[in-house]
Amino acid sequence: MTTATERFLKYIAVNTTSVDDAKVYPSSPNQKVLGAQIAEEMKAMGLTDVIQDEYGYVMGTIPATRDKGPTIGLISHLDTSNAVSGGPIHPAFVDYQGGDIVLNKEQDIVMTPSAFPCLNEVKGKRLIVTDGTTLLGADDKAGVAEIMTLAERLLRPDAPKHGKIRIGFTPDEEVGEGTKFFDLEKFGAQIAYTVDGGALGELEYENFNVGYGNYHHQGRERPYGKCQESNDQCGRCGL
């Protein structure tokens, strides 16, 4: 079997940064590129009904090995945030025993437990980090890698019996457009789970919704510097 780590490192090599206010969908072409690669991987693994539609959504089926139970869906997203550079990503492994993590000595980029308290919870674990100049892409390529690795496991002859499982990978989640063209009827799951963030063993049954808006203000520029008529404030211009 291919490990989730091996898959993750392969997926993050494709820069899938989404773009705000794009006039196309998905908002960046590499989302479709990565989706096509994953669709081919799904076919080679033995999933059925594998498609990538015109909007970049990728879907496939792990066939049932028992008759009972609902169709379950597993979903994650292909894009990454545009808040920081999406590549080229230079991953590194850290066997973390506590303290600071120097990501980039030349640029003095350091992760500290004071800034990232979650580091206190992963002592003794092997971490994957970047060189500090890009994001890592774990949101949500870690989820993609986990789902794909589970799929490979469930397609083996010695896998536990299970019902029909549908897999869906979506574009543009980071810019709030992940569900824009998602075809629920085509996906066909009675119950679905998003594999994206959270602690090990944690299930979230609520979500937060974030909205944003842009506005343009037209006004008169306030003058800066000393009043032209006096070395002191003249009171006429508010300086």
* Buried-exposed string 47-74: b where 16+ CB fall within 10 A, e elsewhere: beebebeebbbbbbbbeeeeeeeebbbb
- Give the model's pLDDT for residue 95: 97
pLDDT tens by residue, 23-57: 999 999 999 999 999 999 999 999 999 999 999 99
Residue in 79, 152, 174, 177 annotated catalytic = 79
Give me 131's structure tokens: 């060189």
β-bridge partners, 166: 61, 73
* Contact of 139 with 196, CB cutoff 8 Å: yes
Residue type, 137: G
Report CA 131 to chain centroid distance, whole Å: 18
- Give the model's pLDDT for residue 200: 81
Residue 183 annotated among the catalytic residues of the structure:
no
Residue 79 annotated among the catalytic residues of the structure:
yes
- Give the model's pLDDT for residue 216: 80
- Give the model's pLDDT for residue 198: 79
Point out the residues of the chain with pLDDT beneath 70: 208-212, 221-239
- Give the model's pLDDT for residue 149: 98
Q: Which residues contact 196 (CB under 8 A, 6 or more apart)?
A: 76, 77, 139, 140, 143, 173
Residue in 140, 146, 173, 174 annotated catalytic = 173
Supply the pTM of this predicted model: 0.86
